Amino acid sequence: DVKVTQSSRYLVKRTGEKVFLECVQDMDHENMFWYRQDPGLGLRLIYFSYDVKMKEKGDIPEGYSVSREKKERFSLILESASTNQTSMYLCASSLKGSGNQPQHFGDGTRLSIL
Amino acid sequence: AQTVTQSQPEMSVQEAETVTLSCTYDTSESDYYLFWYKQPPSRQMILVIRQEAYKQQNATENRFSVNFQKAAKSFSLKISDSQLGDAAMYFCAYTWETSGSRLTFGEGTQLTVNP
């Protein structure tokens, strides 16, 4: 089974802090994704990556950056956390290929910015 | 722009009954894929079923089936013989052939199963 592991299930940080959310997958997937989940809005794509050191902006990249130094690890960075970034963050991975490759998700990190 | 709409924020069903969750989408792509994901309280997103747009036959997975109406851009999920374990948030999602598998999600439908 594919395992996508997010480093924290719950995280509390303060406004202005630099925040790192880590995600590791163990199935050698090329694609990795970061989504943000908010009530009534579903999941929205922040950033994604097709390969090491490669990144693409999703639908809501403002205020975020990412890093992919190794194939199995994809980090989401909040450069200067703000209260409107309080949310659930979900990481996912999938095989490279056509659009029908299913994504495998981590358990999510519920981030609170105070 | 590709959009996915789930017009039912909440639904409920009696155990053993059938329920249908609605989803509509908007796209100009010809090659695309549709998915239903389930998110129980544990938060783990689980793929329930997927449909390739080029296939006319509706996908089925045990008690789960879809009604894919391509012309109407509608993709509803039917759950038969509902079980308590089906209670979850359900998300409809879409991707297209050249997207690199990035997903566009609907708002979600919270399904309650009553014993």
Q: pLDDT class for A14, splitting at 50, 70, 90?
A: very high
Please report residues of B whose CB lies closer than 8 A to that of A41: 107
Residue A82 carries which DSSP code? Answer: -
Instruction: Please state the domain count of chain B.
Output: 1
Computed over every residue of chain A, the mean pLDDT equals 94
| Residue that has been written with the tokens 């017009």 in this structure | B7
- Contact flag B35-A56 (C-beta cutoff 8 Å): no
Interface residue A11 vs chain B (CB under 8 A): no
> In sequence order, which residues have a C-beta less than 8 Å from that of residue A101 and are 6 or more positions away?
A31, A94, A95, B101
Question: What is the distance between the alpha carbons of residues B39 and B59, in angstroms, rounded to a whole number?
Answer: 20
For A80-95, the pLDDT digits (tens) are: 999 999 999 999 999 9
Output the DSSP codes for A21-58. Answer: EEEEESS--SEEEEEEEETTTEEEEEEEESSTT--EE-
pLDDT digits (tens, 9 = 90+) for B33-60: 999 999 998 888 999 999 999 998 999 9
Q: What is the pLDDT of residue A100?
A: 75
> What are the structural domains of chain A?
4-97+104-113 (2.60.40.10)
Give the count of alpha carbons within 13 A of B21, CB side only: 33
Query: Reduced to 3 states, what is the DSSP secondary structure of residue A69?
Result: strand
Task: State yes or no: pLDDT of A21 exceeds 80.
Answer: yes
Collect all residues with Cβ–Cβ distance below 8 Å to B57 and sequence separation of at least 6. Answer: none
For chain B, give the percent of residues with pLDDT over 90: 83
Q: Is the pLDDT of residue A98 over 90?
A: no
- Give exposure, A68-95, as e/b (b: 16+ Cβ within 10 Å): beeebbbbbebeebeeebebbbbbbbbb
Q: Does residue A16 contact residue B76 with C-beta atoms inside 8 Å?
A: no
Domain containing B35 — which CATH number?
A: 2.60.40.10
pLDDT of residue B65: 97
Residues 44-83 of A with CB under 8 A from B: 44-45, 48, 50, 56, 58-59
Are A99 and B95 within 8 A, CB to CB? yes
Average pLDDT in the A6-26 region? 96
Choose the closest CB to B45 out of A56, A58, A90: A90
pLDDT surpasses 90 at B95: yes
Average pLDDT over residues B62-80: 97
Q: Tell me: pLDDT of A65 over 70.
A: yes
Q: What was the pLDDT predicted at B30?
A: 87
Best CA proximity match to B31, nearest among B49, B67, B55, B48: B55
Question: Looking at the predicted structure, is the pLDDT value of residue A10 above 80?
Answer: yes
What was the pLDDT predicted at B93? 96
3-state secondary structure string across B41-66: CCCCCEEEEEEECCCCCCCEECCEEE
pLDDT at A84: 97
Q: Could you list the residue range(s) of the whole structural domain that residue B49 is in? A: 3-114
Ranking A55-59, A95-99, B10-14, B106-110 by mean pLDDT, the lowest is A95-99
pLDDT (0 to 100) of residue A2 = 67
Residue A32: band (very low, low, confident or very high) from pLDDT cuts 50, 70, 90: very high
The number of beta carbons lying within 10 Å of the beta carbon of residue A40 is 7
Residue A100's alpha-carbon distances to A49, A83, B48, B76, in angstroms, are 17, 36, 14, 18
Contact B45 A50 (CB under 8 A): no
- Gap from B105 CA to chain A (nearest CA, Å): 6
Residues of chain A neighbouring B107 (CB-CB closer than 8 A): 40-42
Question: How much is the pLDDT for A110?
Answer: 97
Token pair 């879809």 is found at B66
